[in-house]
Amino acid sequence: MKILLLEDDATLSTEIEKYFTSKSINCHSISNGDMVEKIYKKDEFDLAILDINVPGKKGIEVCAAIRNIDKTIPILMLTAFGEITDKLAAFNKGADDYLVKPFHFEELYARINALLKRKQPEQLEADIIVSDLVISNSEMKVFRAGIEVILTPKEFKLLSILALASGRVVSKNLISEKLWDYQVITNQNTIEVYINSLRKKIDKNSDVKLIHTKVGYGYFLKEDK
């Protein structure tokens, strides 16, 4: 396994590298965002870990650049900021997960393992259609009113989880287990962040809203008549 790490804190970068080495993971560290694209195009990586606040191009810009090159590589963002606006900005640029500093290396390891498993939710062979929303399982694409909606792998998985529930409410705990293969203990608003990002892409430009919240219970996908 080979991981690209963008982190300008030399001490933290060294400690992460040492930890990954103990797990037999090859980690290529970079301290300046301007260097990432050049290195990324010359080498192959299984996953990218990007700190947001670094010299040169910021982590979110680097995330967008990597996503333009590779639509499928898992991207995990690191930052000292935990505000929901920062998370939404990262997810909108193609990030798959988000970890706030300080963190335990064991949690980082669990997150990257979950991302690398790349498990898709149980899928139907046929496309899933809800109102004018079409989820194409064969092509791994989503269309709303005939227009393709570009989703990150995690967003596609979340949308599929809701769609496969056939209008039933899906709890945050169940979503967490299916998205990461473990329950998120820290950053309890992570699911809400993903839902908000998904709503912006799926519902924002349509009069018919499909993604709904049942307060205190969870979320469901259904045509709002």
- Residue 32 falls inside a structural domain: yes
Q: In terms of residue numbers, what domain contains 106?
A: 2-117
Q: Within this chain, do residues 177 and 198 fall inside the same structural domain, yes or no?
A: yes
Mean pLDDT rounded to a whole number for the chain: 86
Q: How far apart are CA 74 and CA 88, in angstroms?
A: 16
Contact in structure between 86 and 187 (CB atoms under 8 Å): no
Q: How far apart are CA 136 and CA 142, in angstroms?
A: 6
- Residue 123 falls inside a structural domain: no
Q: Within this chain, do residues 23 and 102 fall inside the same structural domain, yes or no?
A: yes
Which one-letter DSSP state was computed for residue 85? H
- Residue 122 falls inside a structural domain: no
Q: Within this chain, do residues 192 and 215 fall inside the same structural domain, yes or no?
A: yes
- Tens digits of residue pLDDT in 64-105: 999 888 878 899 999 876 666 777 788 888 898 888 888 999
- Residue 60 falls inside a structural domain: yes
Q: Within this chain, do residues 106 and 149 fall inside the same structural domain, yes or no?
A: no
Total number of domains in the chain: 2
CA distances to 10, 85, 110, 120, 207 from 115, rounded to whole Å, are 25, 22, 9, 11, 34
- Tens digits of residue pLDDT in 117-151: 764 444 445 788 999 999 988 788 899 999 999 99
- Which of 117, 151, 182 finishes a domain? 117
pTM here?
Answer: 0.61
- Residue 69, helix vs strand vs coil: helix
